[in-house]
Amino acid sequence: MQKTFDEYLSEFIEYLKVSRNYSFHTLISYKTDLSQFGVYIVKSGLCRESNSLPEIQNIFLDFSNIELNFLKSYIADLTDPDSGNKRYSRKSVSRKISVLKSFYKFLIKKKYISKNNASFLLFPKTLKRLPSFLSKREIENLLGEKYISEISILDKAIIELFYSTGLRLSELINLKIQNIYFSNRTLKVLGKGSKERIVPFGKKAELALLNYIGIRDICNTEKTDIFFLSNSGKKLYPMQVNRLIKKNLSIVTDIKKKSPHVLRHTFATHLLDNGADIRAVKDLLGHESLSTTQIYTHLTPEKLKKVYKQAHPRA
């Protein structure tokens, strides 16, 4: 028996939520991308509507009738300047293809279809851009006594922890005080997909966190277990932390992008530059795949010079 597009979609999203433990934001992203695919199906006339209602949710659909060429046409439409639609970047198109592949795997799993045409879709070649990161001199300027003594205790604790651990923004703002173990200088972090990992932090970060606790206790009027709080005692929201980081990075660097992720990139780059094993860095960052971590294996100018001096006979 055929289902409506909305029934397929709802079942898939529930599967991702329960079985795959996907985050709320990821579920919204998947739903948005697949709804866009539904719009394309409606415009193509490849379906019949329920109760003569034009809404996408009401279309009856048999995915067995959707051929590979139709899927290719949909992907091509995303980048066609003459389609009248927004043109998407290669990265966005790759994400939408990935969502389609995941959706079709689900349809196979549930035996709604017998052939997975989405498995034949090819990802567009993406331009590999090196992540923005701070040089060691810029980090020294940022965390040096001259500058670090002039900023707030909260700013210092957040910057030190970002650079010391490579945490994601969401991981930092959701960090709980009971998950900071000062006895062995480690954190228990709840990462993507609600996966926990243990991350060590250094002495400088420990000192910054201990200094901040006194301020936190004053602000914590609601007795929350969230570690980083605003002056009003509320959990920090992402825009606050983004502004905090941008303000401080602007003092020491001219790089275009100034965000918490830059400190995460810097953490990984400096570890690898100093000989850390890439698999260890992968675990510290909470990456599922080693290929994700490999974007940090670029050579910095300082490392190139060092290799040259060590290896070239006439250096």
* Cβ atoms 260, 169 nearer than 8 A: yes
What mean pLDDT comes out for the span 37-46? 83
**Do 284 and 144 belong to one domain?**
yes
What mean pLDDT comes out for the span 141-159? 84
Q: At what angle do helices 153-165 and 238-252 cross, to 10 degrees?
A: 90
- Residue in 95, 105, 192, 204 annotated catalytic: 192
**Do 189 and 217 belong to one domain?**
yes
User: Residue 127: its pLDDT value, please?
Assistant: 65
264 counts as catalytic? yes
Residue 59 has pLDDT above 80, yes or no: no
- Residue in 261, 265, 270, 282 annotated catalytic: 261
261 counts as catalytic? yes
- Residue in 216, 264, 265, 282 annotated catalytic: 264
The CATH code of the domain that includes 49 is 1.10.150.130
Query: In terms of pLDDT, which residue wins out, 83 or 281?
Result: 281
Residue 175 lies in a domain: yes
Residue 52 has pLDDT above 60, yes or no: no
Confidence of residue 250 (pLDDT cuts 50, 70, 90): very high
User: Residue 81: its pLDDT value, please?
Assistant: 63
Confidence of residue 51 (pLDDT cuts 50, 70, 90): very low
What mean pLDDT comes out for the span 68-90? 81
What mean pLDDT comes out for the span 58-72? 84
Confidence of residue 34 (pLDDT cuts 50, 70, 90): very high
* Cβ atoms 48, 221 nearer than 8 A: no
Residue 272 has pLDDT above 80, yes or no: yes
Q: Highest-confidence range of 124-133, 164-173, 269-278, by mean pLDDT?
A: 164-173
Q: Is the dihedral of CA 104, 285, 300, 161 positive or negative?
A: positive
User: Residue 302: its pLDDT value, please?
Assistant: 63
Sheet order of strands, 59-61 included: 3-4, 59-61, 48-49
**Do 90 and 200 belong to one domain?**
no
296 counts as catalytic? yes
**Do 157 and 298 belong to one domain?**
yes
Residue 314 lies in a domain: no
87 counts as catalytic? no
* Cβ atoms 199, 189 nearer than 8 A: yes
* Cβ atoms 42, 56 nearer than 8 A: yes
Give the count of domains, the chain: 2
- Phi then psi for residue 189, to 5 deg, are -110, 135
